[in-house]
Amino acid sequence: MNFANRWEVVRFITEKKIIAIIRAQSSTSLLKAVEALREGGIECIEVTMTTPGALQILEEVRKKMGEVLFGAGTVLDSETARLCILSGAQFLVTPSLNFAVIDMAHRYDVPIIPGALTPSEILSAWERGAEVVKVFPASSLGPQYIRELKGPFPHIKLCPTGGINLDNLRSFLQAGATCVGVGGSLVKAQFIQEEKWELLRDLAREFQKAAAE
């Protein structure tokens, strides 16, 4: 899946609403997990840099799964950001606010979703050029926090992450979230370890249905 610029990537994420966060031990298991998610309707995937051999895995799956949008997550510094982009990452996600990482992403015309929590951090991320701001950890403050943030910041795209599940996904989106990052409640470690790809696909469909509603 190719895009002319970073704004097209942002538009795609905005339309799809869910970014599935995956931690896999091999490119084979990641490929199978991504295929199951895609069959379930989820096409935005974040491969975390906490995954062993993450850069190599990202490069392999990026070449083999052209119909899915791949990003790199848990990017902590600008050099890692550069390596992720060279390995095929189409967007970057960070757990915290790092201006050097934002600058590196934009040097390569790649959108970035930096992590922030307070109003000051969120505004600083946007002023630096972040296309979307990751509100993390979102479950600590809940959907109401997103609603309150959208009061002074209606123009900032927010992506709550951390503790998002089927029970609260709709509430976060209704509160004004542009999209959500979903990890263990969707991409269950047990499903990957036991290769229960059909269960993962069915769960992805439930999440996608919830987001669409």
Residues annotated catalytic, as ranges? 46, 134
Decide if 12 contacts 3 (C-beta within 8 A).
yes
Count CB atoms within 10 A of the CB of residue 14: 15
Q: What is the 3-state secondary structure (H, E, C) of 66-102?
A: CCCEEEEECCCCHHHHHHHHHCCCCCEECCCCCHHHH
Non-local CB neighbours of 98 within 8 Å, separated by 6+ positions: 76, 77, 78, 114
With 0-12 CB in 10 A as exposed, 13-18 as middle and 19+ as buried, what is 170?
middle
Separation of alpha carbons 187 and 47, rounded Å:
11
Q: How far apart are CA 75 and CA 48, in angstroms?
A: 8
